[in-house]
Amino acid sequence: MAGAVGLSQALSYARDLKSLYERSRARERELEQMQERLHAAYRQSLQYAIDLRKTYRRLEQSSFQSLLGLANALEAKDVYTRGHSGRVAALARRIALAAGVAPGAADIVAQAGLLHDLGKIAIPEGVLRKPGPLSEEEWAVMRRHPIVGAQIVAPLEFFAEGAVIVRHHHERHDGSGYPDGLRGELIPLGARIVAVADVHDALASDRPYRPRLARDEVVRHLEAEAGHTLDARLTALCVHLTADAAPERAV
């Protein structure tokens, strides 16, 4: 009798164990399925993130193109500034490459050259196109354009270095420039390059107050500024690169 009870208990334990095992297997399968679903959801969200990043880059690029359009429109209003930024950009890229800047970074320098005076959009026409000399107050307004330009391009993540160049393109080697009075190599390299290209183009093109200067006069002016307001090495590169060149073509 006792043996029969023992056997029936053992059978009951075995059934319990079997059902426990089956339940735990079912749970395991459920967990596996959940894990697969989680993996699939993870892969999908990764793909969403990649797509979002691509869309963001495309948006940044189209914002950049709009800003270029704005800069062109600003320049085109004035016969004297038309084409200036394009020529500055082309020369700035050549100086950058000659100075050993990597091609990708030289492209950013050129793009900053295209947008360097974008901040002038905030300057009233009366000041921007005043035929006579500017008053002290008008100069103060004019001197804000690098900061305004840098603020306009600041939201473009890929163009962070370009924004720095735009901000500092009127700094001078001897610290007498604006907006921050930086001197020497404290001025970012790209900004020093754009500054040289900017001065070269201003000298070599017609202005409202004088016709373009002859090549030897351009060189004389540049060499007089080298080591004072302009970086000497970059100015020498600019003089060398423009030695027997036709006028710089816009990029």
Residues designated as active site:
120
Residue 223: partners with Cβ closer than 8 Å, 6 or more residues away: 235, 239
Q: Is 233:191 a contact under the CB 8 Å cutoff?
A: no
Q: Which residue has the tokens 């473009």?
A: 156
Bridge partners of 104? Answer: none
Nearer to Fe ion, 97 or 118 (CB): 118
Q: How far is the CB of 45 from Fe ion (least distance, A)?
A: 45
For residue 16, give the H/E element and its range.
helix 2-76
Q: How far is the CB of 169 from Fe ion (least distance, A)?
A: 6
Site residues for Fe ion, window 117-136 (CB under 5 A)? 117
DSSP label of 121: G
- Contact between 75 and Fe ion by CB under 5 A: the answer reads no
Q: How far is the CB of 132 from Fe ion (least distance, A)?
A: 20
Q: How far is the CB of 81 from Fe ion (least distance, A)?
A: 10
Q: Is 166:119 a contact under the CB 8 Å cutoff?
A: yes
Nearer to Fe ion, 117 or 201 (CB): 117
Q: How far is the CB of 108 from Fe ion (least distance, A)?
A: 18
Instruction: Write out the two tokens for 65.
Output: 């193109």
What string marks each residue from 85 to 124 as x (binds Fe ion by CB under 5 A) or -? --------------------------------x-------
Nearer to Fe ion, 117 or 225 (CB): 117
DSSP label of 103: H
Site residues for Fe ion, window 178-197 (CB under 5 A)? none
Rounded CA separation 1/5 (Å): 6
Nearer to Fe ion, 144 or 215 (CB): 144
Residue nearest Fe ion (C-beta atom): 117
Nearer to Fe ion, 115 or 226 (CB): 115
- Applying CB under 5 A, the site for Fe ion has a residue count of 1
Residue 48: partners with Cβ closer than 8 Å, 6 or more residues away: none
Q: Is 165:188 a contact under the CB 8 Å cutoff?
A: yes
Q: Is 91:106 a contact under the CB 8 Å cutoff?
A: no
Amino acid at 178: Y
The residues binding Fe ion (CB under 5 A) are: 117
